[in-house]
Structure 1
Amino acid sequence: MPAGPSLSFSSAAELARADELLRAASYVDGGHSYSARDVSFYKTAATQVANSEAEGFKKDYPSVARWMRQMRFVVEETGSEAAGFGAALPSSGALTRVSEQASGQFAASSTASSGSKPNKADRKSAAMERKSEQPKEAAKPAYVKGSTVKEVDCKVVPMENREKALPVQPPRGAGATNFPGVGKKGTRYITTAIHYTNGWPHVGHAYETIQADILARFFRLASYDTFFQTGTDEHGQKIAEAAVAQGKPTPRALCDMYVQGFQGLFGRTEISEDQFIRTSQPEHYKIVQDLWKKVSDKGDIYLGEYEGWYMVREERFVTDKEAEEWKYLDPSNGKPLQRMKEPSYFFRLSKYKDFIVKLLTENADFVKPEEYRLSLISRLKDMEESGGLRDLSISRATFEWGVPVPEKVGPDGKKHVMYVWFDALTNYFSGVNFDRKNAKYWPANMHVIGKDIVWFHCVIWPAMLQSAGIPLPQSVVVHGFINDKEGTKMSKSEGNVVNPHDICDWCAPDTFRWYLCRGTEFGKDLSFSVSDLKLKHNAELCDNLGNLVNRAVNLCKGAVPELSSDKSIGVPFNVADLRSKFCRAMENARTCEGATLVRDASAATNKWLADLEPWKLSKTDPAKAAGIVRVCLEAVFVLAHLFAPFIPRAAEAILLEKLKADKILPLDALQELDKNLKAGAPVSSTSVLFATFSPQELEIDTPVMVRPSAEETAKTPAAVPAEKEGKQQQKGNGKQQQNKGGGKQGEQQGGEKKKKEKAPKAPAQPPVQLDMDQPLYSRLDLRVGKIVHVENHPDAERLYVEKIDVGEAEPRTIISGLREHYTLEEMLGRQIVTICNLEAAKMRGITSHGMVLCAKTSEGKVQFAGLPDGCKPGDHILVEGETLRKPWTGKEVKKHNVWMDAAKLMQTDDAGIPCFDKKPLTVNGARLHSDFKNAILS
């Protein structure tokens, strides 16, 4: 037995403590990280046990033994080990993966504590052992170290000048155009809100347009005759003022400049619009004026006088009550509201109150998600108390940049231009009436908009159309805001606005699109995180889909194999069932759900392939092995079509370049996994879909940000700094740009070179004084939780990803290692004990925000801690007889080893009652319970 580290201790006492600490750590189920001291201690303990000739330690110290098995995985993955340690550990074949965070911290502490470089001979031996367990037929993808494959399909789209549209439009990928001869299933018309041309595009513009593009591509692939429109809103006082402020000769010149910027971004992110409309087009003017005449002929427009508070940012008057509540300042930017009195044409919006209420209450599909429809109904009811729905001012006579009203001079002797919203909303109708052949697409099927303009689209717009006798759109689908990674609203003064070009400089368009779709449920706010984007890319696009495609195209050896008659092969998923669920989600604008369905199907196919191991069967049963590979290729073919709306370039590469398909098929033409491909057809394996982000690149969590001006910074002394951004760019971004396909680094919006600025430091906060005498248990926050959603972890076979309601505004994401103990059906809807103030930890690429408490026997059996009847999510779990104290924060809990110390005192008693320090745990005075007696709680 090789010698271990020189540190030694008495076997009885110290090994028992190591075992106790390891039990408390719950390193698999809880995802907790180790301190350097703990890792060094555990490693030394395990090494001494490994060097011991006694065989009874596995029984006496089961946690140490289990830890030893898991540490071999860490040793092999990190290449960091103390001298002789790796050789003393068992084979890697039976190991369980530990969390990425624990792996990384062990690597760092092991190198530091050993004082030696990694043992290359042992690493090589471990690598050879792993290699022997992998399929020899499958070449490593480009993102695996040591690969000889260099070409990557999905690359960065470089952009020299962000102020201009791309001179050559990049390929837009699968689903960018309608199939020939479509129309039997009907039409689909998808729109975005048109983008205001008073500034360069930001990540919110990209988010909305990409979501709408995903829907448009889906409907094209689903064989609908689809028309997708986006564009720019170019009129209003705000545009006129911005043109003067920016030194432009006319408002039109300002709009021309920013239109180029929007078209450049949309070209870079694979937007497949059928029309880019501008409200300054003469054709639009004519149709808006025709609509005005129809409404006027109905008697719904009259000339009056408006006096009130005007908000320039939103181009609207606000009520006196709103102005007073806001202290006569725009709540968004702090600029003063303007008191105005002027003649104005009015639209009789009040006349359509009952119509709007009926529309919203009786048509549940008109506004999606439902929360926004219910909010509108509530707002309309509240307005009844203050006089009801008021008529709407729809013209201005104090500036000229807008669509002139049909009456060249009003009865007041003044020239009026239309209120910007009357003009802008009409773009949806005018856009399909420039060319009469496109009139068939009205009414629109989906207006995709942000939650801040719901009122205009769901109250004012349908009232205008009803007055003009024009059919209403079928639905308005509403998305949330893009916030920063902390959930804070983005603003230039905070220095947290993300320029989408800064992301696209190092990120392939498909990756950007995938993250914006998978980052949050449609309708909810998205906390934009560069780290999460990269992790989703690695886990879902590389390790999941990319790995599956790479396996399939390499195992087939250049051609599609014959089918096998062996029925034991089975299939990883049913095509008809998957397609039905996918189409139902997408038709209801649940894009995140649709993406999750295909991601899960890809993961299921990976698992199915790994279970059948055709690389091993190729020698003993080559026909069966070939049949397995055939089914795998069929699955890849089907999945590529379903992934296409989200990652169109990758889907096109799979189908046309790797599988050499003649064409991309409509979704309803996809068959089960034995009829889509022809035996003998060529297959290419000369490239991979994506390149992964390296560990060094994953550490860079800050995009190049849009910095506040000196004037804005001076006004905002507490501006949020971008900590260490300069160092991160110098150390990581250059390499990252090169690895991911390039694009120019360090450009601001508008193409100007970035100047180095030292961000202002936030004022230091006084340290929080902890009460070190506070009872140990009361420092923790244990609550009743309810599992409202659960799914398999996409990249870990033993983990679940749960959404748990713990009485907060939103459910928490918590990861647990319970797949060996409970089915998905047994998990869903169950009430459990949740520890809510552990510091968040990433486990295989997904962040866990807590831990589920379970009882565990010495034989490895696991059971949820049982809760009494009548408790609800958020109820606190207390030690019997004690009162609730303010729990510590996650950082404080970690720093002071609160959970580590508390866990040593948590177990069930002789009656199976969960206890802390032999005192029962209770909810609302009633005790918890368990079937396991004298079991550990962790």
Structure 2
Amino acid sequence: MNKKFYITTAIAYVNGPPHMGHALEFIQADAIARFRRLAGHDVHFVTGADEHGVKLLRTAQALGVTPEALVETNTAAFRDLNRLLRVSHDDYIRTVDRARHWPAVRKLWRRMADSGDIYKQYYEGLYCSGCEKFLTERDVADGRCPLHPTVDLESIHEENYFFRLSRYSEEIGGRIASDELRIVPETRKNEILSLIREGLKDVSFSRSRKALSWGIPVPDDPEQTIYVWGDALTNYLSAVGYAEETDLFRKNWPADLHCIGKDIIRFHTAIWPGMLLSAGLPLPRAVFVHGFVNDASGQRMSKSSGNVVDPVEVAQRYGADSLRYYLLREIPTVEDGNFSMARFIERHNADLANDLGNLVNRTVVMAHRYAGGGIPDARPDAPLISPLRAKAVETLTRVEGAAESLDLNGAAEAVWGLVREANRFIEVHAPWALARDPARRKDLDAVLYGLIETLRHLSVLLAPIVPDKAGEVWAQIGQGGDPGQQRFDALRTWGGVRAGARLGEAKVLFPRIEAEGSPSIRGLRPLLGTVGGSVPYAPSSEHSERIEGQKAEEKSEVRSSKSKVKTQTQESGAMTDAETGLIDIAEFQRMRLRVASVVAAERVAGADKLLKLQIDLGDERRQIVAGIAQHYAPEAIVGKQIVVVANLRPARIRGIDSQGMLLAAHGRDGLKVVTVDGAVEQGSKVS
């Protein structure tokens, strides 16, 4: 029998529209659930909506609508976001659900009351409507809630029910310390243990019905409304049928993993375990805590600051998988991270369009061109493709380990290691060159087979990260079904693609994104040291002096020429080519632009801005020095197809021979190397 795995997100408070923090939690939980399915677990994944509370009631009143109408509208927006982001939840629980949720809440209340842990007394203190909770003096900074500094705290004096949480302080601390209730990361575990060592205090468990009419009434006391702890947290039980103790409940409880944000860790690791202990129920096995998504400068996103990035807009405009990849790869899994559109576009173009997209496109295009559109008949254990096989085995091990330890950044990085290795493999073995030699037909077939088999592995491993695009890769290599329905076990054998199977059509996986305001093709600046251009890198002083000397002489000649031409054309008012900068086609054709692949790259010692590149032009290999080190790490440029000026006079830069120069665009978002839209043969002419 497959091991069960019950995973939840915190249910979203639907007071307003979803934000990037919601998207992060949904995507992280979804990736974990998908990885567990690949591991063969019987996953039950639940998310939902928290639809009660003072803040929601006040928002509805301010908008002139009923709270019922507000929650219907806002909950629909959250469910739409889940669909857009391809969140694969099995159930969606709502706290306004009177058939499923309310009976579970009342049952848990009565169980806790029967344990003697619910009592009534007057409460006097501070209340934050922003986070809908009572605050002690130690929770307040300068008279404000740290999480909602613009919200005025209210002074509350009313009779409420309380939960005797203090009774369970020692037991909760022991369960957490022993990892019976595991908290990830360790820093959050230490944080809550420090709080528990100070002694947990009893917490308010209801509000006056006059203060909070929008919620679930307390059993046998209609003048009181069950507070957020007893309502929202109980969703984890109600979603699996706690009220009737169904087979689903008996199968899935306790929960295996709660995925939450760091701002609600106390509720989930102190109050919630206490409630369960009071009711005689097992505790969840683990709580996974993520950080916040801040803006590009590291500040919290807020409407008042005008720095909010709408996840719906980003996903609709650039694709859900691009957003999923960014949040899983760029945002630290358990720490705060920044969302920068510039960095988002850079990740999309470099990792998705260039690395993954070009790998898939080149492989499928070459298989159509050189193998008739089918998978070649080659031995999976051919020595030529052993590096790919070894890397695939290593990648599977790394991904399984990262997924098990909830290291989503590590899982994504491991997958991209295989992507990079496959790109390097193409450059080293150059299928286009093998195709020109009939004697090497078997080698060509082996190379193509190895690449297609690698894409099979990648499709499965990518399914939790970019599920839609993983399916597209799966289809392009002629596989049926959904790679997300495969298992890790299917990747333990190398050679799963069947010789002779027909490939799908080669399609662009991730179209490149041009940053808004970035230069178009007109703004491309070839890295040439000629008059009118500039070199956006710092070459050696010897080279700089030579180039600048040439520029000075050329500029002097041009000024003299312009003076003469202007005198000759003043009467007619005509502009000459010298003045407009226009060139004719013959001048342009003197420049030989060719496509090359970067085979290797390394930094130039003593030069912060220079990389030494080894490039493959198809019929020859060359070395060039380029001033891109401040924009590209060596490993990030390897495998890219670039455009180079192939007939530039060789130069010696920092004592290194440079036989050509690459093209790049320089705009507000920095320097971007010019590439081609899809894989082409090395050495192809650019015109």
> Same-fold call, TM > 0.5?
yes
Report the AA paired with residue 601 of structure 2.
R
- Is the contact made by 1:573 and 1:604 (CA closer than 8 Å) also made in structure 2? no
- Is the contact made by 2:118 and 2:161 (CA closer than 8 Å) also made in structure 1? yes
Q: Which residue of 2 is the match for residue 354 of structure 1?
A: 170
Q: Give the alignment of 1:209-228 within 5 angstroms.
A: 209-228=26-45
- Is the contact made by 1:840 and 1:847 (CA closer than 8 Å) also made in structure 2? no
Instruction: Determine the C-alpha separation between the residues in 2 that align with 1:817 and 1:258.
Output: 51
TM superposition shift of 1:817: 5.7
Q: Which residue of 2 is the match for residue 438 of structure 1?
A: 248
Q: Which residue of 1 is the match for residue 418 of structure 2?
A: 601
After superposition, the Cα gap between the structure-2 partners of 1:185 and 1:697, relative to the gap in structure 1 and judged at 3 Å, is farther
Matched, 1:647 2:466: yes
Q: Which residue of 2 is the match for residue 798 of structure 1?
A: 601
Question: Can you give the 5+ residue segments of structure 1 that lack an aligned partner in the other structure?
Answer: 1-183, 410-414, 701-793, 801-813, 821-838, 849-856, 862-938
- Is the contact made by 1:550 and 1:685 (CA closer than 8 Å) also made in structure 2? no
Report the AA paired with residue 213 of structure 1.
D
State the Cα RMSD in Å. Answer: 2.9
Equivalent in 672, 675, 690 of residue 510 of structure 2:
690
Report the AA paired with residue 502 of structure 2.
P
Matched, 1:422 2:241: no
Report the AA paired with residue 666 of structure 1.
Q
Three-state SS of the structure 2 residue aligned to 1:571 is helix
Three-state SS of the structure 2 residue aligned to 1:306 is strand
Matched, 1:300 2:124: no
Instruction: Determine the C-alpha separation between the residues in 1 that align with 2:598 and 2:232.
Output: 46
TM-score (norm 2): 0.73
Q: Give the alignment of 1:263-662 within 5 angstroms.
A: 263-282=79-98, 283-323=100-140, 325-327=141-143, 332-363=148-179, 366-381=182-197, 383=198, 388-397=199-208, 398-409=211-222, 415-433=223-241, 436-439=246-249, 440-557=251-368, 558-564=373-379, 566-574=382-390, 575-618=392-435, 619=437, 620-661=439-480
Q: Which residue of 2 is the match for residue 709 of structure 1?
A: none
Three-state SS of the structure 2 residue aligned to 1:625 is helix
Cα deviation code 1:98-142 (max 9, x no counterpart) = xxxxxxxxxxxxxxxxxxxxxxxxxxxxxxxxxxxxxxxxxxxxx
Instruction: Determine the C-alpha separation between the residues in 1 that align with 2:295 and 2:636.
Output: 16
* Identity of matched residues, %: 34
Instruction: Determine the C-alpha separation between the residues in 1 that align with 2:41 and 2:3.
Output: 6
After superposition, the Cα gap between the structure-2 partners of 1:328 and 1:613, relative to the gap in structure 1 and judged at 3 Å, is closer
Question: Can you give the 5+ residue segments of structure 2 that lack an aligned partner in the other structure?
Answer: 521-596, 615-627, 638-652, 658-687
Q: Give the alignment of 1:668-747 within 5 angstroms.
A: 668-671=488-491, 674-694=494-514
Q: Which residue of 1 is the match for residue 6 of structure 2?
A: 189
- Is the contact made by 1:484 and 1:529 (CA closer than 8 Å) also made in structure 2? yes
TM-score (norm 1): 0.54
Instruction: Determine the C-alpha separation between the residues in 2 that align with 1:505 and 1:195.
Output: 21
Cα deviation code 1:763-784 (max 9, x no counterpart) = xxxxxxxxxxxxxxxxxxxxxx
After superposition, the Cα gap between the structure-2 partners of 1:400 and 1:455, relative to the gap in structure 1 and judged at 3 Å, is same
Count of aligned pairs:
534
Q: Give the alignment of 1:195-210 within 5 angstroms.
A: 195-210=12-27
Instruction: Determine the C-alpha separation between the residues in 2 that align with 1:431 and 1:796.
Output: 53
Instruction: Determine the C-alpha separation between the residues in 1 that align with 2:356 and 2:58.
Output: 49
After superposition, the Cα gap between the structure-2 partners of 1:247 and 1:590, relative to the gap in structure 1 and judged at 3 Å, is same
TM superposition shift of 1:676: 0.2
Instruction: Determine the C-alpha separation between the residues in 2 that align with 1:615 and 1:364.
Output: 57
Report the AA paired with residue 34 of structure 2.
R
Equivalent in 842, 855, 876 of residue 631 of structure 2:
842
Three-state SS of the structure 2 residue aligned to 1:626 is helix
- Is the contact made by 1:235 and 1:280 (CA closer than 8 Å) also made in structure 2? yes
After superposition, the Cα gap between the structure-2 partners of 1:322 and 1:455, relative to the gap in structure 1 and judged at 3 Å, is closer
TM superposition shift of 1:407: 1.8
- Is the contact made by 2:389 and 2:494 (CA closer than 8 Å) also made in structure 1? no
- Is the contact made by 1:521 and 1:593 (CA closer than 8 Å) also made in structure 2? no
- Is the contact made by 1:534 and 1:698 (CA closer than 8 Å) also made in structure 2? no
- Is the contact made by 1:798 and 1:818 (CA closer than 8 Å) also made in structure 2? yes
After superposition, the Cα gap between the structure-2 partners of 1:674 and 1:301, relative to the gap in structure 1 and judged at 3 Å, is closer
TM superposition shift of 1:195: 0.8
- Is the contact made by 1:309 and 1:337 (CA closer than 8 Å) also made in structure 2? yes
After superposition, the Cα gap between the structure-2 partners of 1:465 and 1:658, relative to the gap in structure 1 and judged at 3 Å, is same
- Is the contact made by 2:361 and 2:506 (CA closer than 8 Å) also made in structure 1? no
Report the AA paired with residue 200 of structure 2.
L
TM superposition shift of 1:690: 1.4
- Is the contact made by 2:611 and 2:629 (CA closer than 8 Å) also made in structure 1? no
Cα deviation code 1:41-81 (max 9, x no counterpart) = xxxxxxxxxxxxxxxxxxxxxxxxxxxxxxxxxxxxxxxxx
Q: Give the alignment of 1:849-864 within 5 angstroms.
A: none
Instruction: Determine the C-alpha separation between the residues in 1 that align with 2:32 and 2:166.
Output: 34
Three-state SS of the structure 2 residue aligned to 1:540 is helix
Three-state SS of the structure 1 residue aligned to 2:150 is coil
Three-state SS of the structure 2 residue aligned to 1:505 is helix
Report the AA paired with residue 345 of structure 2.
K
Equivalent in 57, 73, 78 of residue 262 of structure 1:
78
Cα deviation code 1:871-914 (max 9, x no counterpart) = xxxxxxxxxxxxxxxxxxxxxxxxxxxxxxxxxxxxxxxxxxxx
Q: Which residue of 1 is the match for residue 59 of structure 2?
A: 242
Q: Which residue of 2 is the match for residue 233 of structure 1?
A: 50
Instruction: Determine the C-alpha separation between the residues in 2 that align with 1:699 and 1:213.
Output: 37
TM superposition shift of 1:202: 1.1
After superposition, the Cα gap between the structure-2 partners of 1:419 and 1:599, relative to the gap in structure 1 and judged at 3 Å, is same
- Is the contact made by 1:815 and 1:843 (CA closer than 8 Å) also made in structure 2? no
Instruction: Determine the C-alpha separation between the residues in 1 that align with 2:122 and 2:11.
Output: 29
Higher relative contact order (Cα pairs below 8 Å, separated by 6+ residues)? 1
Instruction: Determine the C-alpha separation between the residues in 1 that align with 2:434 and 2:63.
Output: 70
Report the AA paired with residue 262 of structure 2.
K
TM superposition shift of 1:220: 1.7
- Is the contact made by 1:330 and 1:337 (CA closer than 8 Å) also made in structure 2? no
- Is the contact made by 2:5 and 2:256 (CA closer than 8 Å) also made in structure 1? yes
Instruction: Determine the C-alpha separation between the residues in 1 that align with 2:636 and 2:654.
Output: 29
Three-state SS of the structure 2 residue aligned to 1:232 is strand
Q: Give the alignment of 1:138-153 within 5 angstroms.
A: none
TM superposition shift of 1:798: 2.0
Instruction: Determine the C-alpha separation between the residues in 2 that align with 1:669 and 1:315.
Output: 46
Report the AA paired with residue 443 of structure 2.
K
Report the AA paired with residue 165 of structure 2.
L
Q: Which residue of 2 is the match for residue 810 of structure 1?
A: none
After superposition, the Cα gap between the structure-2 partners of 1:342 and 1:840, relative to the gap in structure 1 and judged at 3 Å, is farther
TM superposition shift of 1:545: 1.2
- Is the contact made by 1:544 and 1:603 (CA closer than 8 Å) also made in structure 2? yes
Q: Which residue of 2 is the match for residue 91 of structure 1?
A: none
Instruction: Determine the C-alpha separation between the residues in 1 that align with 2:278 and 2:14.
Output: 29
Three-state SS of the structure 1 residue aligned to 2:221 is coil
- Is the contact made by 1:306 and 1:342 (CA closer than 8 Å) also made in structure 2? yes
